[in-house]
Chain A
Amino acid sequence: MDFTVFAQQIANGLVNGMAYVLIATGLTLVFGVLRIVNFAHGEFYMLGAYLTYFAGTLLGLDYITAAVLGAVVVAALGVVANKLIFWPLRRDHEFTILLSSLGLALLIANSGELLFGADPKYVESPFADEILDIGTVTLTQQRVLVFAAAVAVLVAVYLFIRYSRFGKMMRATAQNPDGAALTGINIGLVHSYTFALACGLAALSGALVGPTVMIFPTIGNWAVLKGFIVVIMGGLGSVTGALFAGLLLGVIESLGGGYISLGFMEAIGYAMIIAVLLWRPNGLFSTARGLR
């Protein structure tokens, strides 16, 4: 086996996997804290990429500022979506919540096609075409940035959940919403914050991954599917699980595509999740209810 190619495929897989982790973290938070399966999560990823693009082209902002602005605006949109759809439905049947998120996803994707146009777009980043040679491995600066930014953001999210007041409120709500409400926690506020955090993370991953590919209004589909695979495999509600499952999926896809069959690359990912679920029906890192 050619070691250079092997190392390169591992590196490709780790970068792709980290992008999956970033997408999945928001998804798993929303489920862990609020018990909502949000099919519209991918659309917030799409909005993040597009807002970064428009902030760059229309407002003339540099890439980093545009990405941060995009994430903040999408976080606010997440709060709006929560107020309009998910909060009023919180006591309804899980099908109703799941399907209204599916409807929301269709609505955002189709509005996006109308507003942004069908032509593909490219998010300009100064790091996109700059090549870094790390030993025998070749990566662009943008791909290194995806990985590094994701690590930084995940550490920040972890510390936030662990030590901040809101983080504690989120964990209390995840364990027992009614109990949390009784102790005086404002559940409505927890809903808003969780959505802001999750949608902001989705948008940030869109802004980071954007310059490595082209963007078009239906990319949200791809993002939410990858996100779900990772979340289910890692265990619904588990951030640690999402981290391991995301990296695992990225590397296995890359090695599977590189050494077995490129055509079946996606199928390999799905086969992996099925194997995991048959072995541990609730995912790799699932224990009792709560946020980990």
Chain B
Amino acid sequence: MNAKHISLAGGVLLLGILPFLAGNAYLEHLLVLWMLYALLALSLNIIIGYLGELSFGHAAFVGVGAYTSAILSTQLGLPPLIGLPLAGLVAALFGLVIGYAALRVVGPQFAILTLGFGSILYTVTNHWVDVTRGPMGISNIPPLSLGPVTFTDARETYYLVLGLVLVVAFLCHALVNSRTGRAFIAVRENAPLAASLGVNVFHTKLLGFVVATAIAGVGGAIYAHYIKVITPDIMGVHNVAALIIVVVVGGRGTIVGPILGALVYIGLLESLRVAGPLRMVVFAALLTGTVVFLPGGLVSLWQRWRGNHKAENNATATTAPTTLPNAEGGAK
């Protein structure tokens, strides 16, 4: 038991009692949104943070998952609990095909290619009216249920998503420290070098991409069953930008970063309501400022502070603050 474990346990405990501190149903609703965004951001973080590629198509996989589960439960009457893993599976299949095509290119080309695939999925969803009901969306989606427990209200959904977030966070942690995870980092830092050391760069990237899209699909399905209505907007450019913002503002390549980023995103947009018409302007200005001045995201503040602290303790001014977060970042 060391300080790291204690702070980790404290953090999880705090997350566990949060709904009881919220006091009203609306704040609980915001907590659910936070956890949902955290889950989606953690999945996108695998692509952005570990593979080092910027995906502009992630919202489309969220949408694929959401629509899969929604259609299965409203049209085929399947219990949502079966829909959930199926949503992940279908999203992963889409991820496999799209990743197989898109991961052949890197950098800006990859970003735009994923944007293109995402837009195609959006357009098809918008026009395949017989199945998706097009722009009208699907409404009256039944809530998730597990035996006698039905996840109707915000508090129940919060614990469900919190559980998933913790599981995914742990998996990410385990992944980073595994052989596969080290292959990810090697590919991110220097793909040709990794290839020369025997890492199959393409397969490594594809694996990461598929895992990320599967998690996104599950997250989308939970979202659909919680909000009870989905439209193609869930796949829109707006949501794409939101997810990237959450990951990068929080701190890409870390586990705490996306969770923190989701909190800031939801909390900031909510509290900025007092700014009235200036709300989105202030939001955009803060976002730009954060990206420009904190390229490593919010978690890099902690690392910087710690870096400075150590430097002062050791009385050596040579330890420069790390600008790029390491694999685990603030979780250490």
Contacts and interface: CB of A to CB of B under 8 A. Distances in A.
Interface size bucket, B side? 35 or more
Interface centre among A88, A89, A100, A278 (most CB of B within 10 A): A100
A114 to B, nearest CB: 6
B123 A229 contact: no
B113 A232 contact: yes
A241 B40 CA distance: 36
Interface string A75-109: 00000000001001100111110111011101101
Interface string B144-187: 00000000000000000000000000000000000000000000
Contacts of B280: 106, 110, 113
Interface stretch (A124-132, A161-169, A192-200, A259-267): A259-267
B288 A104 contact: yes
Contact of B284 (A92, A107, A232, A263): A107
B108 A232 contact: yes
Given A92-B295, A102-B244, A110-B280, A37 B285 contact: no
A278 B104 contact: yes
A55 interface: no
Given A96-B291, A99-B291, A282 B109 contact: yes
A11 interface: no
B284 A270 contact: no
B124 interface: yes
B54 A98 contact: yes
A271 interface: yes
B5 interface: no
Interface string B114-152: 011101100110110000000000000000000000000
Contact of A236 (B108, B281, B292): B108
A106 B112 contact: no
A267 B120 contact: yes
B96 interface: no
Nearest to A104: B288
A232 B112 contact: yes
Given A92-B295, A106-B287, A266 B119 contact: yes
B284 A106 contact: yes
Nearest to B127: A263
Given A103-B292, A107-B287, 6 more contacts: A31-B108, A106-B241, A113-B280, A232-B112, A270-B120, A277-B105
Give the 4 A-B CB pairs with smallest separation, nearest first: A103-B288, A106-B284, A107-B284, A267-B123
14 contacts: A98-B54, A98-B108, A100-B292, A103-B291, A106-B241, A107-B287, A114-B278, A114-B281, A225-B237, A228-B112, A229-B112, A236-B109, A273-B113, A277-B109
Interface of B: 48, 54, 101, 104-105, 107-109, 111-113, 115-117, 119-120, 123-124, 126-127, 237, 241, 244-245, 248, 252, 277-278, 280-281, 283-285, 287-288, 291-292, 295, 324
Interface of A: 31, 37, 85, 88-89, 92-96, 98-100, 102-104, 106-107, 109-111, 113-114, 221, 225, 228-229, 232, 236, 261, 263-264, 266-267, 270-271, 273-274, 277-278, 281-283
